[in-house]
A and B are shown apart, each in its own frame.
Chain A
């Protein structure tokens, strides 16, 4: 059991929560995630550790409501307990000073992008962040990202905020104007696929952080498997970050759809019963 000691509503869809987890706070590095389970009947969902306060013994998660489990977590109040929090899991981000890092986050990917942006900045890189979403309401954490970036470009599909266009258009503008040494992309699989195609064209090393379906998060089930450079890898233990140019995104896209119908039905009935 881990107690929620702080909660901040960042937007309609996004909540920041601080949870007691002293051991995890001590061990975590940028890129690590935890698996959280809410209630006896809850599902195990992976969430990136956004920040940690070692002295307070807490970790901060930024959660976007997309389905039943993320919704349940966002509905918890300060003082409530999260049944399970396990971690830190996965490999941490490889952080070094490479020069200029272009960080692209789309929708659900902006939350896990934040700690990477912060770590890259702290390592002395020039960080340019491109945040993208369908419309204004999907651009989350703008202030936090701004704090850790030298420049922020906002792209929305419908032009309700920032520039109208896709994330790749924002990235390409930067790439054409200055030397980019490393790109990082986190978001829906399609988005990462197109970011990867773009940076490959310009020969920019690129890291993608993958958000596959997970169950245990410790290498036991294979639910999170993907193909990287022709080899099967488990995102929870070998990742979540991989060389984007080697990832079979089409396969990943297909696997992400596995439980779409079940999830949609569950979400519908959850919202109806609320």
Chain B
């Protein structure tokens, strides 16, 4: 992928360090490959579907070391090609194998601002673990890179000795970050390290973007995100919440206040609806609304003021991570039936495999190859039924996925009292609207230079994450943030 020549030599040199050589020789490769992949300890499905504690409880040291021993410390570590930010995977894993857990965390932090987050939410099965030697050549279960990443990051956090990165001396540049999701946080971290004066503006009252308002506690505890935010604060990054750039102040206002460059990481927050009859009945809401009420506003806690409708028969429309999070949240809030209605088959679901497996264990009903076509309401205008049409898979479409085709006369009705629509999001239009000269795609994403993340036509504006990619992933957003930080530094330096 993006590995440069120098990087590979750097990898090779690290691999030749004496302790790595020794460690490699300490266990024969045959023995390493004969081991079974570790399984992540998790809460019992019956118990966890009634609480909001994290599902995966994390590896203990012995398990982590055992799993680290599986890694062959390959000459050509193909796993790195699968990681969008090219984490030095064998290096951090070998630190774990020799019980230097803080050392492992340090390796991770060289590349990733939020390893505890990525270890939990990356779709490893299509990234680093998909290109691991075990998957590709041995046709065996890959090294559990994600679990190990989480282990090292959690160890560091729980040890209380989280290292605050070294900050270069103040370089006099003032940078504004718009949006505090993973893209914004990682850019903020890098820019602060480079010695910039960094301010993050966030529209909501909480910092973290989707990590806070979207992804539920049972998958990514807020406390994990807060530790990272605190370390940014210690690095001198300033945060302004309740500040909508474009409304509270325009980019021009901020230029006038002395900001030299901007990183737009405002995400893809606009929920899509399907536009089918009855979709505006009460009891039908976007996953953003549902998850925001529950995660950000803590609606399910009696002492918080925000209400949320507690459904008995809940249908969630869609097959992505957002759909899984919504349906599992509904289950935890006491739904009798929690159903996924998805128009393609289980194999095409874009959600992380682990989340689908967890959802199955928790008793979520999967109605694949089904598509809602109309809603009906009771006399109060509250949704009571959904009319569903069965689908079959046809020829592959442009995306390579087989296109779902409706089966005639297959419609039936299901009783529902809460429907969560989770069929994708569109980019947040606020910033583009306030900067009309920005070049946009027809999907409403900002066009940027791939290497520097600089926007076309507006040289002091850079952008990354979902506002550039549409709904993507945490790790891609973070990678963009890092690239943009470098791009921004080069830009401001060239200007003065």
Contact = CB atoms under 8 A, between A and B. Distances in A.
Asked whether A and B interact, the reply is yes
Interface of A: 23-24, 27, 37, 41-44, 68-69, 72, 83-89, 215-216, 218-223, 225-227, 232, 237, 251, 253-255, 257-259, 262-263, 266
Contacts of A218: 203-204, 244, 269, 428, 430
B271 A222 contact: yes
B227 to A, nearest CB: 19
A255 B377 CA distance: 12
Contacts of A253: 381
Given A41-B298, A69-B305, A222-B288, A24 B280 contact: no
Interface residues of B, number: 42
12 contacts: A83-B205, A86-B205, A87-B244, A87-B248, A89-B244, A215-B293, A220-B271, A221-B285, A237-B430, A251-B280, A262-B307, A266-B307
A172 B99 CA distance: 83
Interface in B161-219: 203-205
A85 B380 contact: no
B376 interface: no
Q: Is the interface of A mostly helix, strand, loop or mixed?
A: mixed
A23 B254 CA distance: 12
B248 A27 contact: yes
A218 B267 CA distance: 12
A257 B298 CA distance: 21
Nearest to A256: B282
B242 A84 contact: yes
Contact of A215 (B241, B248, B289): B289
Contacts of A89: 244, 247
B66 interface: no
Nearest to B248: A23
B305 A219 contact: no
A44 B297 contact: yes
A257 B381 contact: yes
A221 B297 contact: no
Contacts of B428: 218-220
A2 to B, nearest CB: 9
Interface in B224-249: 241-244, 247-249
B429 A41 contact: no
Contacts of B381: 251, 253-255, 257
Contact of B280 (A27, A44, A215, A227): A227
Given A68-B305, A259-B309, A222 B273 contact: yes
Contacts of B205: 37, 44, 83-84, 86
Contact of B249 (A23, A41, A215, A255): A23
Given A27-B249, A254-B381, A86 B305 contact: no
Q: Is the interface of B mostly helix, strand, loop or mixed?
A: loop
B239 to A, nearest CB: 13
Contacts of A226: 280
A88 B305 CA distance: 23
Given A86-B205, A221-B286, A232 B306 contact: no
Contacts of A255: 280-282, 381
Contacts of A223: 285, 289
Nearest to B288: A221
Given A37-B205, A68-B305, A216-B204, A24 B248 contact: yes
A43 B429 contact: no
Contacts of A43: 297, 304-306
B283 A220 contact: no
A22 to B, nearest CB: 10
Contacts of B285: 221-223
Contacts of B430: 218-219, 237
Contacts of A221: 271, 285-286, 288-289, 292
A220 B270 contact: yes
Contacts of A84: 205, 241-242
Contacts of B289: 215, 221-223
A145 to B, nearest CB: 27
B271 to A, nearest CB: 5
A85 B203 CA distance: 10
A245 B285 CA distance: 26
A222 to B, nearest CB: 4
Contact of A41 (B271, B273, B303, B377): B303
Given A220-B292, A221-B286, 20 more contacts: A23-B249, A41-B303, A43-B297, A44-B297, A86-B244, A87-B248, A88-B247, A218-B430, A220-B269, A220-B270, A220-B288, A222-B271, A223-B289, A226-B280, A232-B273, A254-B380, A255-B381, A257-B282, A259-B309, A266-B305
A27 B283 CA distance: 36
A86 B280 contact: no
